[in-house]
Amino acid sequence: MLVFNASAKNSWLEDKGRTNFDQIPAVQGNSLIQGASNITDSLLITKNATSPKKAILKDSIPQSGFNELFEKTTVVAAAAKYNSVRLNPKAMSFVQDYMSRETDNLMELKDWGRPYFNMMDGILIQHGLPKELKYLAVIESRLKTSAVSWVGAVGPWQFMPATARMYGLKVTKGRDDRRDFVKSTHAASRYLKDLYKEFGDWLLVIAAYNGGSGVVYNAMKKSKSKNFWDLQYYLPAESRTHVKKFIGTHYVFEGQGGITTLTKKEVKEQVGIGKGQVILRNLTGKEKENSKSIQIAGKYHSSVIAKHILMDMDEFDRYNPNFDRVISAGSFKYELILPESKMELFTSHKFQILEESINVLLEGGNTQRTEPKQGIQLAVK
């Protein structure tokens, strides 16, 4: 169930283009509706205590220059522990102008849009996608279900009719699922996953989402490059700008960059393979419905988990592809998914499993098990 403040709800619904959340069913399976998004506010310094929503972006910029905002991980203390992501110099001028111009409006959207973000987080995680992709809906429509583009794209995710039908949405005179937030987010997740399989690069995915795969392939051919920062000049201006708006929005909301603001090469250089991958699980709809998930980090080992929850290793691998490789990547959290009964066993034996896993690793246990090839797609190859 989605729970949110009733008094704040009225302000969210003042815009007739926004969905009434009383009519949105809770996302089923996996218990994936998360708490409030971990949105970093550290880049924003309030002008005065009586006007907390009015933020002065320039006050947060280091005195030695705007470049430091993206070149040093020490700018945002909370991000320093994790984030080593740097903004590409070719985007710096655009993102600087975008943040200066849009931050106030985006922070207001953050306030009323929190339940939408929480809902999208759950669906994106359910599909094995980075939850930061929700910011694509921000630049597509400002989260308005009533949004209609000049070419006829409709809804928060701005689907054209043909693409909407391809991904399971009904578009008729009497019904348009593109305006349904939950259904359209599921459809957008499937579309984004297909684009990622196609390109393996999040910036190219965002460009293709805006302009179609064809324009990206055409830019690749003309530029003789698969790097967004090289081929961007051969993309339509709208698609090129769309990608940079996404990056700017990500920086406003998160206070830092992430894997979705980097090219495939940059992910490998700055983040590493563990944080740059997308887990594609080979599960049926019924299996997903009857499973639960939990984010875990630490020195867990798949063989120890499987032993304690009485689960066949092949089955564990199917639910959790590439587990040992990902969990050993350091601070990366793995979205562990198990059948409900197995998850109960895991949670009740969690500390014992962790202790035994650490012992296995210390004794030189096989931490590089051969993982099944089916069901895993890496952002970095």
Whole-angstrom distance, CA of residue 233 vs CA of residue 228: 9
Burial 209-226 (b: 16+ CB within 10 A, else e): bbbebebbebbbeebeeb
Q: Which residues, 6+ apart, have CB-to-CB distance to 308 below 8 Å?
A: 345, 346, 349, 352, 353, 356
| pLDDT of res. 332 | 58
For residue 351, give the 3-state DSSP assignment: helix
Query: Which amino acid appears at position 163 of this protein?
Result: T
| pLDDT of res. 15 | 41
Residues in the chain predicted with pLDDT less than 50, given as ranges, are: 1-66, 68-83, 273-276, 331, 367-381
| pLDDT of res. 127 | 84
Residue 168: exposure state from Cβ atoms within 10 A (0-12, 13-18, ≥19): exposed
Return the axis-axis angle of helices 114-126 and 181-199, rounded to nearest 10°.
50
Contact 170, 179 (CB under 8 A): no
| pLDDT of res. 334 | 81
* Residue among 269, 247, 249, 271 at smallest CA distance from 259: 271
* Residue among 158, 139, 136 at smallest CA distance from 147: 158
| pLDDT of res. 129 | 86
pLDDT in tens, 78-96: 333 334 578 999 999 999 9
Architecture of domain 15-271: Orthogonal Bundle (1.10)
Domain with CATH 1.10.530.10 in the chain: 15-271
pTM listed for this prediction: 0.59
| pLDDT of res. 359 | 87
Give the pairing type, strands 55-56 and 45-46. Answer: antiparallel
